[in-house]
């Protein structure tokens, strides 16, 4: 572990071009996918949590099942669809960052929906009562509800980001771990491990954790400020 | 706010201290990895501290490991996952031709043949005597042909050979080669799914099946679909104590028989890779070990089908004191990279 720490520091200080590329691809992929999933998942989650309609229970159970979708299965699905012989072959998306983002969004969105749904279902009755007492319209009730969710949304975003930066099964399948193009931290760690360069793998893992720590500190501070 | 920040700082410092404390220990014993020794019997005790697994059997004719280039045929009988024919699969034939032409040029063959001599003190790959040499023109990249998808086996990638060769090709002719590395079985499947323009693999039987199914094509300037150009050797590795005594066996077949006889642990790749295919051909026929999991159900007390990459399997072999078949290039790279957890 000690030599790995030295290597990690050395790697960062050397500003190795390939490492910088891996870092930038990782950042691009995980930021894009977590934000897209947030945009999709939060409205759906609030809708599922706040509204009562027939078939809601089925949707909730279906969504919770999707939360357990194994990343490799998700990756395999996208691989088959966008393969050279797959139905979407003309889009030429296989082994690009775009398809990695798509696979990640498919994996993360159910988690966001479920988290939002659980939270909103808990606070919705109270919010509805307050809104009724104040005589607020439907839209204003919705706005009030969203306002109550801000703290939760930030927590959920952190979850989404952590999940997408740490994921390896799906991205290695659809991205192919191609150097200078689709190689992210996790797939690079796998490659180093296969070459026996364990300390280099651990070094990359440390950089990954440090990045995660930074993002978490920034967002937690933001969360505190917003919730005050 | 300030309290939180200082708390965080303390956490980070504690983490750093713990990590540095751990750093002290390996620093004392952390002698540099000794160069992998060739001597089959006399593994020095110092080396045993770092990597106990060593080469026990090599340079047997049965252990020759030949690498072959195959260009993917755009008019191959591609089928989708449901078995329906797909006719318009995009394959960059011009790019594949250029890369194959360059790989068979004298310049590239010399580079491949000399790869590793400076770093490891010996050849990792040898150029085949009868490798066809290409002397004609090599087409430079155009907008449509500049991206070449090469699907390849892990050994040429993990040993660093491709990282050594490809940049020269890319900078001279303007192509970008996207390398995807997996076991030979997976690499061939990637081509069958229309995700590769050419493949570089090492399993004769699987290559021939690929050609027979019509997935390969003959490249201009060559006579056959399969272009075998470099080789190295598989090596049988195991614990330096060598309980099965394979180092003293006359042939590699006897060595495998001795391992099976004594039920000494053996790690199999188990992933339809070229190495796995080779290993299956070396067991005594009476055992009936094939790629099918049912065929070794009775041997699970010593035959371990890992279904993992070469590196992961080497770690397992090291941890379990097991025997393992590997290509020499990957083994040497693995050892040189300090391939053992501290």
Q: How far apart are CA B274 and CA B210, in angstroms?
A: 14
Q: How far apart are CA B235 and CA B325, in angstroms?
A: 6
The predicted-structure confidence for B194-232, as pLDDT tens digits, reads as follows 999 999 999 999 999 999 999 999 999 999 999 999 999
DSSP code for B68: E
Query: Beta strands B227-239 and B126-127: pairing type?
Result: antiparallel
Buried b (16+ CB within 10 A) or exposed e, A23-51: bebbeebbebbbbbbbebbbebbbbbbbe
- B93: which residues sit within 8 A by CB, 6+ positions away? B71, B74, B197, B217
Nearest to A83 among B195, B337, B342 (CB): B195
- pLDDT, residue B47, reads 36
Where do the H-state alpha helices sit in B159-225? 161-173, 184-192, 204-212
Q: H or E element: which one contains A112?
A: helix A97-134
B90:A84 CB<8 A: yes
- Nearest CA distance, A107 vs chain B (angstrom): 22
Q: What is the pLDDT of residue B11?
A: 55
For residue A84, what are its two tokens?
């050279």
Give the Cα separation of A53 and A132 in Å (integer). Answer: 20
Residues of chain B predicted below pLDDT 50:
17, 19-49, 340-342
Residues of A in contact with B93 (CB under 8 A): none
Which residues does chain B have within 8 Å of residue A2's beta carbon, measured at their own beta carbons?
19-20, 22-27
Asked whether the beta carbons of residue A87 and residue B158 sit closer than 8 angstroms, the reply is no
- What is the pLDDT at residue B8? 58
d(CA A71, nearest CA chain B) in Å:
18
Chain A interface mutation, best of B16, B73, B120, B181, highest count of A Cβ atoms under 10 Å = B181
Interface test with B, best of A4, A72, A85 (most B CBs within 10 A): A85
* Residues A1 and B22: beta-carbon distance below 8 Å: yes
Q: Which residue is listed with tokens 């000690």? A: A2
Best CA proximity match to A199, nearest among B33, B332, B159: B33
Task: State the pTM of this model.
Answer: 0.81
What's B66-231's CATH class? alpha beta
The neighbour count for residue B84, using CB atoms within 10 Å, is 9
Distance CA B222, CA B103 (A): 13
CATH number of B2-64+232-336: 3.40.190.10
Residue in chain B closest to A3 (alpha carbons) equals B23
**CB atoms A176 and B194 under 8 Å:** no
* CA–CA gap between residue B214 and residue A90 (Å, rounded): 23
A29 touches A164 (CB < 8 A): yes
CA–CA separation, B106 and A129 (whole Å): 82
Contacts for B214 with CB less than 8 Å, ≥ 6 apart: B73, B76, B77
CB contact under 8 A, A95 and B178: yes
DSSP state of B288: -
Say what the pLDDT of residue A115 is: 95
Q: Considering only residues 168 to 207 of chain B, which have any Cβ-Cβ distance to chain A shorter than 8 Å?
A: 178-180, 193-195
Mention every residue, 6+ apart, whose C-beta is less than 8 A from residue A23.
Answer: A185, A207, A211
Q: What is the least distance, in Å, from the CA of A6 to any CA of chain B?
A: 9
- The tokens describing B211, both together, are 């050609």
- Report how far residue A198's alpha carbon sits from residue B340's, in angstroms, rounded to the nearest whole number: 7
**Structure tokens that stand for B144 in this block:** 């449509």
pLDDT (tens digit per residue) in B136-184: 999 999 999 999 999 999 888 888 899 999 999 999 999 999 999 888 9
All CATH 3.40.190.10 domain ranges in chain B, comma separated: 2-64+232-336
* B310–A contact, CB cutoff 8 A: yes
- CA separation for the pair A195, B251 (Å, rounded): 29
- CA-CA-CA-CA dihedral for B237, B239, B245, B248, to nearest 10: 50
Question: Distance between CA B141 and CA A16 in Å, rounded?
Answer: 28
Decide if B152 contacts B190 (C-beta within 8 A).
no
Locate B39 and state its tokens: 């001597």
User: What is the C-alpha to C-alpha distance for residues B135 and B126, in angstroms, rounded to an integer?
Assistant: 20
Q: Which pLDDT belongs to residue A71?
A: 94
**Closest partner residue to A85 among B30, B194, B314, by Cβ?**
B194
**pLDDT by position in tens, chain A (length 228):** 667 777 778 877 887 888 899 999 999 999 999 999 999 999 999 999 988 899 999 999 999 999 999 999 999 999 999 998 989 988 999 999 999 999 999 999 999 999 999 999 999 999 989 988 998 888 888 888 888 899 899 999 999 999 999 999 999 999 989 989 999 999 999 888 877 788 788 888 988 999 889 989 998 898 888 876
Test A85 with B80 for CB contact under 8 angstroms.
Answer: yes
- Nearest-CB residue to A196 (from B19, B89, B337): B337
ipTM exceeding 0.90, yes/no: no
pLDDT of residue B239: 92
Residue A10 has a pLDDT of: 82
Cβ distance of B340 and A198 shorter than 8 Å = yes
Look up residue A111 and give its two tokens: 């988690």
Tell me whether residues A86 and B78 touch, CB distance under 8 A. Answer: no
Number of inter-chain CB pairs under 8 A, A vs B: 103
User: Three-class SS of residue B123?
Assistant: coil
Contact A191 B22 (CB under 8 A): no
How far is the CA of B208 from the CAs of B130, B213, B269, in angstroms? 19, 9, 21
């Amino acid at each position: 572990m000690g030599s790995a720490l030295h290597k990690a520091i050395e790697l960062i200080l050397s500003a190795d071009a390939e490492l910088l590329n891996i870092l930038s691809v990782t950042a691009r992929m995980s930021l894009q996918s977590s934000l897209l999933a947030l945009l999709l998942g939060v409205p759906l989650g609030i809708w599922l949590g706040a509204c009562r309609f027939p078939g809601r229970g089925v949707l909730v159970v279906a969504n919770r099942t999707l939360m357990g979708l194994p990343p490799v299965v998700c990756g395999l699905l996208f691989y088959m669809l966008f393969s050279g012989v797959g139905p979407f072959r003309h889009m030429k998306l296989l082994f690009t960052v775009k398809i990695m983002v798509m696979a990640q969004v498919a994996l993360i969105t159910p988690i966001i929906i479920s988290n939002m749904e659980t939270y909103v279902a808990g606070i919705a009755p109270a919010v509805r009562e307050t809104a009724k007492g104040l005589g607020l319209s439907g839209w204003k009730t919705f706005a009030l509800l969203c306002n109550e969710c801000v703290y939760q949304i930030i927590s959920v975003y952190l979850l989404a980001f952590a999940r997408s930066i740490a994921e390896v099964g799906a991205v290695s399948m659809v991205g192919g771990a191609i150097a200078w193009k689709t190689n992210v931290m996790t797939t690079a760690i796998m490659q180093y491990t296969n070459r026996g360069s364990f300390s280099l793998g651990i070094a990359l893992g440390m950089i990954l954790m440090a990045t995660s720590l930074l993002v978490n500190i920034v967002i937690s501070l933001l969360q505190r400020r917003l919730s005050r | 706010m300030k309290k939180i920040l200082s708390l965080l700082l303390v956490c980070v410092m504690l983490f750093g201290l713990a990590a540095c404390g751990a750093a002290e220990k390996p620093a004392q014993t952390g002698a540099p990895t000794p160069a992998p020794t060739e001597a089959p019997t006399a593994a020095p005790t110092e080396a045993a501290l770092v990597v106990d697994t060593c080469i026990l059997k090599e340079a047997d004719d049965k252990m020759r490991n030949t690498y072959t280039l195959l260009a993917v045929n755009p008019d191959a009988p591609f089928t989708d996952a449901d078995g329906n024919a797909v006719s318009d699969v995009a394959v960059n034939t011009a790019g594949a031709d250029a890369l194959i032409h360059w790989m068979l040029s004298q310049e590239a063959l010399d580079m491949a043949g000399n790869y590793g001599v400076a770093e490891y003190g010996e050849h990792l790959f040898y150029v085949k005597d009868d490798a066809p040499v290409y002397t004609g023109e090599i087409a430079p990249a155009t907008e449509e042909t500049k991206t070449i998808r090469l699907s390849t086996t892990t050994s040429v990638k993990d040993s660093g050979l491709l990282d050594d060769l490809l940049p020269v090709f890319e900078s001279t002719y303007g192509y970008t080669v996207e390398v995807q590395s997996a076991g030979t079985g997976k690499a061939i499947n990637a081509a069958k799914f229309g995700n590769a323009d050419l493949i570089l693999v090492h399993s004769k039987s699987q290559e021939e099946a690929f050609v027979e199914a019509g997935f390969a094509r003959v490249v201009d300037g060559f006579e056959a679909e399969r272009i075998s150009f470099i080789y190295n050797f598989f090596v049988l590795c195991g614990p330096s104590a060598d309980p099965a005594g394979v180092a003293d066996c006359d042939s590699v077949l006897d060595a495998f028989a001795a391992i099976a006889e004594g039920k000494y642990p053996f790690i199999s790749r188990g992933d339809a890779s070229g190495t796995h295919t080779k290993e299956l051909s070396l067991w005594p026929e009476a055992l009936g070990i094939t790629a099918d999991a049912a065929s070794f159900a009775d041997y699970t007390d010593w035959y371990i089908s890992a279904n993992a990459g070469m590196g992961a399997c080497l770690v397992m072999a090291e941890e379990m004191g097991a025997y393992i078949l590997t290509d020499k290039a990957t083994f040497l790279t693995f050892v040189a990279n300090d391939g053992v957890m501290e």
